[in-house]
Structure 1
Amino acid sequence: MSLVVLVIGCLLSGAVIGLLGGILGIGGGLIAIPALGLVLGMDQQLAQGTALVMVLPTVLMAVRKYNQQARIDLSVAAAGALSAMVCTWLGARWALGMDPVTLRRSFAVFLFCVGAFYVWQTWRKPRTAAGQGGGAQASAPTLKRRQAALLGALAGTLGGFFGVGGAVIAVPVMTAVYALRQAAAQALALTMIIPGACVALFTYARSGSTDWVVGGALAAGSLLLVPVGVRIAYRLPERGLRAAFAVMLFGTVALLLAEG
């Protein structure tokens, strides 16, 4: 495959990934990782490191657009980001020492479990989200800085271990435990993972597990449609957005298993 064809293919693929990442609040990394393994034959660590090259600028753009739609609580996000940053390095070092097949299968199991939770959450009896009024709001605990720090530690560890995934675990916790709306949880989770994503990218790059040409082209394409995806996310109904998140997770699991 020539370099020109590779770059054009990555730009187009990045645009699609950016659109989906903007809608689902995941930065597109979950989709890129199995695609890089299937199409370009990258091992799991290289795919995760390359996806991070795309994820970081995409997440920055997505957070900016989410914040324009509804203000993000930066004090809560900062508390989560600080603990995530420390734990991301530990998760990344752990992942780089693992067998690639074992790491890929672990990633698939993790995403399947989160996807199954989303199916349950989407079709259970609706619960009033925070800020919507009603009795459920009074019974839901408030996400404060201490809780955000604990959640950030979990998200950071998983984000470093799988290259991405911190937002994937943080979002359902915020919606189920703290009754945040899906779009608000996606915005806050993405804000929390930014410093950790920087640490993870540095750690993977230092070990040689990044392809900057592929990752850079994916990032350039992704940035084109992230704003469109964010606007769509705020216009989708709550249940529809959660269902789309679950479908994306199960689709990613299928791609990971297709690699063998």
Structure 2
Amino acid sequence: MTWTVVLSLCAMGVVGGFAAGLLGIGGGMILVPFMTMVFTSLAFPSHLVVHMAIATGLATIVFTSISSVRAHHMQGGVLWPVVKLFTPGILVGSWLGPWVAQQLNSTMLALCFGIFVFVAATQMLINAKPPAKYQLPGTAGMFAAGGVIGLVAGLVGAGGGFISIPFMTWCNVRIQNAVATSAALGFPIALAGTLANIYYGLGETALPTYSLGYIYLPALGVIAAASMVMAPIGARTAHRLPVAKLKKIFAMMLYALAIYMLWQARSLAN
């Protein structure tokens, strides 16, 4: 990698880590489109670019979530009993997500990612908060909810916050606790998804040098280092600044990234 690429990856880690700590979203939705650009510029095989971007983005959340959740825990925001109930389903869903992704070609995967990010950006922009009508379900219900969160997160390389936060808010969990708890859920999502992407990618013969399954290790190292520094700053910012205004900025960024991924899907289809 050239120094230009290294600096670009470092900048991605800074933005992704800050967003992960601030919004509890894991940062993958911001990282994946940029990594798609970088991997394309490095002439990676076109049928692997999106898969590798999603897998590498998901792997960075393993490190980001540790740093982010520590900061949220210091603020007393993480509901650990809720994390415990979600985790079994999340582990199953996060393992299946990369398997589903492997069944899709790059065009469909880029299309799915673009649509998901577009919906997430809209949710962030309008600051959608479902009315708190219910309580968190029992063990079976939490397993099912965790499975859905993990499946979608593993498929698109995200931390699952855009599903888990509204779900918890809907179930009478305070938004601050929902964000902090979502940050903690990022670790099992990322760990299971990362192991799955390594496993499912081992048989791929066209992977670039320094890849571990679908994960490109040099990009992972640079982004993880930068994001681990910024995630605690984002978490502290969530308790100090008007997050609603910052959400609008990130929403506009996500719209741009969603449009790029939809354009990428169109390009790959041709």
TM-score (normalised: structure 2): 0.80
Report the counterpart of residue 221 of structure 1 in structure 2: 226
Alignment of 1:23-102 (within 5 A): 23-41=22-40, 43-102=49-108
Distance 1:57 1:35 in 2: 19
1:212 aligns with 2:217: yes
Alignment of 1:94-243 (within 5 A): 94-122=100-128, 140-146=133-139, 147-175=141-169, 177-206=170-199, 207=201, 208-237=213-242, 239-240=244-245, 243=248
Deviation at 1:241, TM superposition (A): 5.6
Deviation at 1:254, TM superposition (A): 2.5
1:254 to 243, 246, 259: 259
Deviation at 1:182, TM superposition (A): 3.4
Deviation at 1:258, TM superposition (A): 4.1
Residues 144, 60 of structure 1: CA spacing in aligned structure 2 closer, same or farther, 3 A cutoff?
A: farther
Q: After TM superposition, what 4+ stretches of structure 1 lie above 6 angstroms from structure 2?
A: none
SS class of match (1:235): coil
Alignment of 1:1-40 (within 5 A): 1-2=1-2, 4-40=3-39
Instruction: Say whether the 8 Å CA contact 1:140–1:179 is kept in structure 2.
Output: yes
Deviation at 1:9, TM superposition (A): 3.4
SS class of match (2:239): helix
* Aligned-pair Cα RMSD in Å: 2.5
Report the counterpart of residue 132 of structure 1 in structure 2: none
Report the counterpart of residue 206 of structure 2 in structure 1: none
- Percent identity of equivalent pairs: 27
Structure 1 range deviating more: 189-198 or 50-59: 189-198
Distance 1:106 1:242 in 2: 22
Distance 2:256 2:176 in 1: 21
5+ long unaligned stretches in structure 2: 202-212
Report the counterpart of residue 131 of structure 1 in structure 2: none
Structure 1 range deviating more: 157-166 or 87-96: 157-166
Deviation at 1:73, TM superposition (A): 1.6
Amino acid of the structure 1 residue aligned with 2:193: A
Amino acid of the structure 1 residue aligned with 2:16: I
Deviation at 1:256, TM superposition (A): 1.6
Deviation at 1:27, TM superposition (A): 2.1
Distance 2:16 2:127 in 1: 25
5+ long unaligned stretches in structure 1: 128-138
